[in-house]
Structure 1
């Protein structure tokens, strides 16, 4: 809660938090900076304290090492050598010195890793450029009660945790997610598509209209995101 006379956090970070999200924001945690803020924000979203940022870094490293073939295939397919680069960025555990920008939390790569490592949906809020990261190997059958974590990027060099509650809209999946996702994981899109189509149908009925079928074979066809 903001103290009397303090600028409300949602007003302070209005350039980060899109207008549609305002009614669903129940809390904002402006974590400590010093190069580990992205990992701190994720830790808070997981129900830990921000001091657990080293645990988040280690968990993402473990995911990359355990499933190296999977991640190397996808990261290096975009640009050769990216797997080693993203892996090295995670390797910083100095609790005294600030992490240099070569060890900061970066999306999309670390966003994909968080979603798969923790079996969650990670939402990146950044003004008008908002993205969702779904797990890349596990689908709804493996993760029936998937949590949602939202973090916001402030000025390109700081991250905050944004707690969203209620039936908030889901931003469009990050563009390269479908290229990474395995068959089970692609069910996330189908499930979300069904939900959005149901909402569209209910809204049309309220207006005395009945929407037609979604056309096209593309899995993204008719996918109603923000």
Structure 2
């Protein structure tokens, strides 16, 4: 497995899908402070939202997909042909098929819902469960997001009631804002992949032994503003794992087990 990693890229790690979980000690690498990490993540996420908002509805915006007859809630292997040029080359060989959700402003939440086995209205359930997760762990997410005001904005972005959309960028799934909360909520690694950048979010509170399903959720960013769900199939017992963005200083002892489960 080490040889596979060396040949492909140092920016990705590859998990042995048959590897058993073992507990790890504390990380000895030099770490940035928790506050600095939170500010950096929040700054990047805010900048991304501001750029989208200022642009209004750019060419290819999510809403523009609604008129396309082939953009329905389907899982089709032919979609891989459609999106393969937007998949990172290192990940493409592992993608078996793609689920392309409706482009209604819920697309990222639809993708997460599908990965969890929820029904077609599951996007609302995902939003509600994220809000509940924040409510139960308010102190943690206040620190992670950079303060009470930012937390309030975050929650507002998740609240849509039962509106069908379309919604503006402030209501869309955002990699840097939502990745860690999704990983903690569902106790599964959440992996965002795109041609521009790819990253992983690993649960910080609970370990793999406490997870109902340790299979990572892979969210593929396409067309500059649309999320799809990529189904990954191991090759020779390995799957690609981009660099994690999770805060090392906030990880619990139990969650350190992810290091051997998913990053070795």
**TM-score grouping bracket, smaller chain normalisation:** 0.7 to 0.9
- Corresponding residue number in structure 1 for 2:207: 139
Match of 1:169? 240
TM-score (norm 2): 0.64
Question: Is residue 51 from structure 1 mapped to residue 121 from structure 2 by the alignment?
Answer: yes
Q: Distance in 2 between matches of 1:189 and 1:81?
A: 32
Q: What do you get for the CA RMSD once the two structures are aligned?
A: 2.4
Secondary structure at the counterpart of residue 38 of structure 1: helix
Deviation at 1:165, TM superposition (A): 1.6
Q: 1:148: Cα distance to partner? A: 1.4
1:34 aligned to 2:104?
Answer: yes
Show the 5 A alignment for 1:20-169: 20-76=90-146, 81-143=149-211, 145-166=213-234, 167-169=238-240
Deviates more, 1:62-71 or 1:48-57: 48-57
Greater share of residues in helix: 2
Structure 1 pair 89–162 and aligned structure 2 pair: CA distance change class (3 A): same
- TM-aligned CA deviation for residue 24 of structure 1: 1.8
SS in 1 for 2:133: helix
Q: Which residue of 1 aligns with 2:81?
A: 11
Query: Contact 1:31–1:50 at 8 Å: present in 2 too?
Result: no
Distance 2:109 2:144 in 1: 22
8 A contact 1:41–1:50 mirrored in 2: no
- List gaps (5 residues or longer) in structure 2: 1-69, 71-75
Task: Tell me the TM-score normalised to structure 1 length.
Answer: 0.74
Q: Show structure 1 runs of 5+ residues with no match.
A: 196-226
Per the alignment, residue 217 of structure 1 pairs with: none
Provide Cα deviations, 1:121-149, integer angstroms capped at 9, x if missing partner: 11101115111111111123433851211
Kept after mapping to 2: 8 A contact 1:123/1:171: yes
For each residue in 1:160-215, what CA deviation from the matched residue of structure 2 results, as whole angstroms up to 9, or x when unmatched? 011112121211112x432442332233225445x3xxxxxxxxxxxxxxxxxxxx
CA contact (8 A) 1:134 1:177 kept: no
Q: 8 Å contact 1:178–1:186 — kept in the other structure?
A: no
Match of 1:208 in 2: none
* Counterpart-to-counterpart distance in 1, 2:77 and 2:217: 24
Distance in 2, matches of 1:100 and 1:183, equals 39
Q: Which moved more, 1:47-56 or 1:144-153?
A: 144-153
Q: Structure 1 residues 68, 187: closer, same or farther in 2, change over 3 A?
A: same
- Determine if contact 1:125/1:153 at 8 Å carries over to the other structure: yes
